[in-house]
């Protein structure tokens, strides 16, 4: 294992929870809180998996995803979107912007681990 995951989440407590959960599952977890320079951070060192919050200060998760999908290096990067607005419209919007998976907050820790693992499974 030892896959690298980058968590872009402005809520420190949530970010810490994800870090703990995935670390325990054997992931190498990095966290980032600001939206504005998130895309640059991803491009600089693309992780194996990106967990992206929608409501970010500076730049919204959708904008960041658009930028990543537009760039060659991150076009196929698996992205798990997290949002606290769990309506169907938000799910569709995430798919349209190119999210690989979508989870609403709050989530079960086991579901997060399962999703992360599934996204790493060979296709």
The residues of the shown chain that bind other proteins, judged by CB under 8 A, are 10-14, 16-18, 20-21, 33, 55, 57, 84-87, 104-110
Q: How far is the CB of 40 from other proteins (least distance, A)?
A: 19
The CB-of-73 to other proteins minimum distance in angstroms stands at: 29
Q: Which of 87, 58, 71, 108 is nearest to 79 (CA)?
A: 71
Identity of the residue, 75 or 85, whose beta carbon is nearer to other proteins in the bound complex: 85
Cβ(4)–Cβ(27) under 8 Å? yes
Cβ nearer to other proteins, comparing 33 with 120? 33
Assign 96 to helix, strand or coil: helix
Do residues 48 and 27 make contact, with C-beta atoms less than 8 angstroms apart? no
Return the number of the residue (19 or 69) whose C-beta is nearest other proteins: 19
The least distance separating other proteins from the CB of residue 45, rounded to whole angstroms, comes to 24
Q: Which residue from 34, 31, 32, 21 is spatially nearest to 116, judged by alpha carbons?
A: 21
């Amino acid at each position: 294992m030892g896959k690298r995951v980058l968590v872009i989440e402005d809520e420190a407590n949530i970010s810490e929870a994800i870090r703990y959960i995935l670390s325990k599952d054997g992931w190498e977890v990095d966290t980032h809180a600001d939206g504005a320079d998130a895309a640059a951070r991803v491009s600089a060192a693309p992780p194996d998996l990106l967990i992206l919050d929608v409501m970010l200060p500076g730049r919204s998760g959708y904008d960041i995803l658009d930028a990543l999908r537009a760039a060659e290096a991150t076009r196929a990067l698996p992205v798990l979107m997290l949002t606290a607005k769990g309506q169907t419209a938000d799910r569709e919007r995430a798919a349209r912007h190119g999210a690989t998976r979508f989870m609403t907050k709050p989530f079960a820790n086991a579901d997060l681990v399962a999703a992360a693992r599934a996204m790493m499974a060979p296709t």
